[in-house]
Structure 1
Amino acid sequence: MTGDYSNNNSSPLEHEVLDILGTLQTFIRKAAPLKVDMVLEGETGTGKDTLARRIHQLSCREGPLIALNCAAVPEQLAESELFGVMAGAYTGASKSRAGYIEASDKGTLYLDEIDSMPLLLQAKLLRVLEMRGIERLGSTRFVPLDLRVIVATQTPLEKLVEEGKFRRDLFFRLNVIKIQLPTLRSSLQHIRPLFQRFVLEAAERHRQPVPEPDPHLLQRLLSHRWPGNIRELKCAAERCVLGMSPLQAADDIPETQRDKPLKSYLRLFERTLIQDCMSRHARCIDAVVAELGIPRRTLYHRMRSLSIEAPEL
């Protein structure tokens, strides 16, 4: 790949999303300060989490950004996690505590993978959005809140509504502003500069020399499907810095895997990413969750789903 890996002054947070969204930036800067709810829609790895953080930063809201991955919370605990609980509300509830919604007062509540939220909980979330407040589990006292809600989904919510998997009234309540995040394969012009930036960051993080540009690598990067989008591109850059092949050659993929659907490739990529990270950090969970930027509970959930053996606690 010709060219160099020259650095610039943009922050990792900005370049990761802003470079690929391009013309959306003017709209995002105008929409971020508005007190309206938003839907972020895009494939895995397109930067929904990063964009949610950026919107919160630009909103100038004084409260915190409170993020919750709906798929990572067991259904039986979801209500108390979201709404909070009063002491004695159920067996084991020895103390009163606020939930995620209440904790986001005057800030931003970010609900990732909203499409995995059970229908019953969707009805309760709808009431929160309409009333702008909550009642903790076990309490009848209404707590008014200054809320701003951002939700993210991989599957279009309109499709889930038609399938009966998402409440139509909640969809219309949330869908004030929808931002569709582009895929890497639809933004080929961003692959090279993003890869170069990720290589620089990985080299600095691992205290490794920046590898010499490979004249054959650019074509491989541009022809790859990137099912994991920006997250997969980061992983490829990191592998490049660590002296491994950034991309698995087609000839190295077993014949039995070549005709698998996209979902299978995503699982294969996610499994490889977690296993590589576990190996590099000697199976230290704290180091793994720090690098991947996900909660410990989410990591264990994904490891169980992908049949990856977790280290003993």
Structure 2
Amino acid sequence: MSASFQIDKEVDPLFIEGSDIEETINTTAILNIDILLLGETGTGKDTLAQRVHHLSGRRGSFIAVNCAAIPESLAESQLFGVNSGAYTGAMQSRAGFVEAAHLGTLYLDEIDSMPLALQAKLLRVLESRGVERLGSTRFIPVDMRVIASAQHSLHTMVEQGTFRRDLYFRLNVVHIQLPALRDRRERIIPLFLEMIQQEANHFGCPTLPPPSGLLQQLLCHPWLGNVRELRSTAKRFVLGLPLLSTALGSRQETAMSLKARLQQLEKALIEESLLRHDHCVDSAAAELSVAKRTLYYRMKQLGISLD
């Protein structure tokens, strides 16, 4: 059974800047309401779920359940617990994930992979906020916060009949969509520069500035693995390993016009310089070797704010 654990540093909480995710988390974390996190693999759903639990102040543990990894034949006993003698091989009574989340948070990762039959039983548990172990009729109340995550659109799955409509509406009290990395390309270079600094410190390696050609490749890459893939690329860069031609620089990644790529590169470099100089325009202009008036003009054209 999974227990409480620390935030995974492999996947950063994605794109808090410039979005309403931060406001939503700060508003809802302390409330005893369920949250549904949607986003592609690697966008930081696990990390965000742990952050909500940390901010909630709940006294219990953060219990993570990978719904895709539980064998269907064992799912009920692992989720709801079992009494001794409930079935052949059940030698002793034990609690399930739901009971373990008492006073804490139950995180249902990849709930879109849960079989329909199990969804119905989970719905009853969520509505009653309690569980009956296999082989028992005793109801055990559970005080828990529920966070669920999915890679696919649950609304679409409901329409296709592969996800229960009632469970979807039960979970969808607060809905947070985490954007893909390719949809926030202005964050790619600042995140990458921050990651190579972190990885260099971790491995005890010198921090080398990435060549401009690599930065352009980073901007053009589709990042199907999102921040997790970017983190792996930063590790390989720091360790001097090949960045895998199959992972970067594919011709299919260069559909963006040259003007758009250059603007994204310029925006990322200006933002990174401003961040490094605590948003002091004078210092950033000096570092970038441009006039202060010119820098202000380019910031306005590129939509860069000092906030």
Common fold: TM-score over 0.5? yes
Judged with a 3 Å threshold, the aligned counterparts in structure 2 of structure 1 residues 75 and 15 are, in CA distance, closer, same or farther, namely closer
Q: Taking structure 2 as the reference length, what is the TM-score of the superposition?
A: 0.75
Asked if the contact 1:16/1:194 (under 8 Å) is kept, the reply is no
- Could you tell me which residue of structure 1 aligns to residue 161 of structure 2? 164
What is the identity percentage for the equivalent residue pairs of Structure 1 and Structure 2? 57
1:241 to 2:238 alignment: yes
- Distance in 1 of aligned mates of 2:40 and 2:34: 20
User: Structure 2 vs 1, CA of residues 138 and 45 (structure 1 numbering), >3 Å: closer, same or farther?
Assistant: same
CA distance in 2, matches of 1:214, 1:148: 46
1:242-261 to 2 correspondence within 5 Å?
Answer: 242-246=239-243, 248=245
* Residue type of the alignment partner of 2:66: N
Q: How does 1:247-286 map to 2 (within 5 A)?
A: 248=245
SS at 2:245 equivalent: coil
Report the residue type matching 1:34 in the other structure: L
In structure 1, give the amino acid aligned to 2:157.
L
- Counterpart code for 1:92: G
The match for 1:204 is 201
1:73 equivalent among 70, 74, 78: 70
| 1:100 and 2:97 correspond | yes
Q: Which runs of 4+ in 1 moved over 6 A?
A: 250-253
* Structure whose alpha-carbon radius of gyration is higher: 2
Equivalent position of 1:132 in the other structure: 129
The equivalent residue for 1:297 is none
Does residue 58 of structure 1 match 2:47?
no
**Corresponding residue SS for 2:36:** strand
Would you say 1:111 and 2:116 are equivalent positions?
no
Distance in 2 (CA, whole Å) between partners of 1:69 and 1:12 is 15
Q: Distance in 2 between the 1:155 and 1:249 partners?
A: 26
- The secondary structure found in structure 1 opposite 2:224 is coil
2:37 match: 40
Q: How much has 1:215 moved relative to structure 2?
A: 2.0
1:28 matched to 2:25? The reply is yes
Q: Deviations over 1:260-313 (max 9, x none)?
A: xxxxxxxxxxxxxxxxxxxxxxxxxxxxxxxxxxxxxxxxxxxxxxxxxxxxxx
Residue matched to 2:84: 87
Deviations 1:216-249 (A, max 9, x none): 2211111110000000000100110111233526
Partners of 1:100 and 1:251 in 2: how far apart?
40
User: Please, which runs of 5 or more residues in structure 2 have no aligned partner?
Assistant: 1-6, 254-307
Flag the 1:104–1:250 CA change in 2: closer, same or farther, 3 A. closer
Residue 175 (structure 1) aligns with: 172
Query: 1: CA distance between counterparts of 2:14 and 2:23?
Result: 10
Equivalences, count: 246
- Return the offset for 1:34: 1.0
The 1-side partners of 2:172 and 2:144 are apart by 15
Superposition deviation, residue 211 in structure 1: 2.3
Q: Pick the structure with more helix per residue.
A: 1
